[in-house]
Chains A and B, each alone.
Chain A
Amino acid sequence: EAGVTQFPSHSVIEKGQTVTLRCDPISGHDNLYWYRRVMGKEIKFLLHFVKESKQDESGMPNNRFLAERTGGTYSTLKVQPAELEDSGVYFCASSQEDWGYGYTFGSGTRLTVV
């Protein structure tokens, strides 16, 4: 079974630029989550998709962040325009159930905004 794939693995962009992160979940997993870890702090929830619908986006920091999940398959997270405080590691996870039994995480995208 292929795992959760994220790319790019690393991205360095200048403040004010736009970056798009992609996540390919495990095939058949309806639930897709984005999490973020900033500056070595705790990993924090950003949002949760069920298929193509946003179930919960309460963790999105502001309107510079836009997440989509086309056709209930892969998801993108766009940051526009990027700010210095957006630097961190962005994790994606997928699961069949929504209650955390079988989360599988991707290896993350390390975003550095300079």
Chain B
Amino acid sequence: QVQLVQSGAEVKKPGASVKVSCKASGYTFTSHGFSWVRQAPGQGLEWMGWISTYNGDTNYAQEFQGRVTMTTDTSTNTAYMELRTLRSDDTAVYYCARDVDPFADWGQGTLVTVSS
């Protein structure tokens, strides 16, 4: 069955960067792209962007343009999301989601805490 396993929780200082990974298994990795979605504590879902696993094309939400980079590694079936210049309001759970149906499959989430 399809599994998306994300990297563990991170604590970062303001101004630092974080890179979250999402390792996929159970299907052909290049068949569907990934979206990244975040959820601040007690808040709703916020779409950050999308990446094609076929050719690496990306589409980022305006709010994150210039601060986020999404990549994939087809040799390890892993998607990555890097967010730079972290602020306290970037504290959230970050999810990867396979973009089929869409969002048929989700990672378990990675808590990123930004605190001085």
Genuine A/B complex? no
